[in-house]
Amino acid sequence: MRRSAQLPRAPPQGASISFPEYVLDHYDRLLELSLEHLAVVLAGLLVGSVVGLALGMAVHRTPRARSAAVHVCGLILTVPSLAMYALLLALLGTIGTLPVIVALALYSLLPIVRNTVTGLNGVDPAVVEAAQGVGMGRWRRLVSIELPLAWPVVVTGVRVSAVLLVGVAALGPIIGGPGLGELIFSGLRVITSPNAVNLALMGTLGVVLVGMLLDGAFLVLTRVTTSRGVR
């Protein structure tokens, strides 16, 4: 793959070191891959959020369309990650970051669409009627009144998707994608080496830390972007 020569190398037989020492020795590489992992997750999440939010807003008032959208997004989520990557590899005809981002965007849809629909349908009908009574059109009412009231529920869906995608992105290096999965798979390839476990564990804990970072960031985002009257 594109950076296999740059991956941390396990010391020769008999030179095993402790995990903290191993992390300190390869901290720069861990940080680089962590940032790449975070970037690809955010890219997929951004695409999925735009599509999911638009889809949820479009179908939330129509029961059949709403049910169909949630059902299709649910079916996408049942596809195993490896199968999804293989399918996109065949459809897009390329390896690397692009198929990983597309896969992440597809996997992010269900929580976002479902929470968007739930949040919008949970808005008090009296508020909607009042906005309609002062002459607001459907889309202006949706953007100015309903979406801000439903925002905490919508952001929760994005937050759930973000944490989900962190794990899915760890398999991206199978098709040449970036991220911490490179460390995990590199450790598995040299499993008999003294520091193979350190290498794989460093990648695994990196994935966990990125997930915790995103989860905390979305908690802060929810609080900052939600008006006090809605909290």
Enumerate residues 6+ apart whose C-beta is below 8 A from 114: 56, 70, 73, 157
For domain 19-224, give the CATH superfamily: MetI-like (1.10.3720.10)
Segment 59-112, tens digit of pLDDT: 998 999 999 999 999 999 999 999 999 999 999 999 999 999 999 999 999 999
DSSP 146: I
CB 174 within 8 A of CB 82: yes
Q: Which residue has the tokens 């990196």?
A: 206
Cα 152 from Cα 172, distance rounded (Å): 30
Read off the pLDDT of residues 133-153 as tens digits, 9 standing for 90 and up: 777 777 788 877 888 889 999
Domain ranges of the chain: 19-224
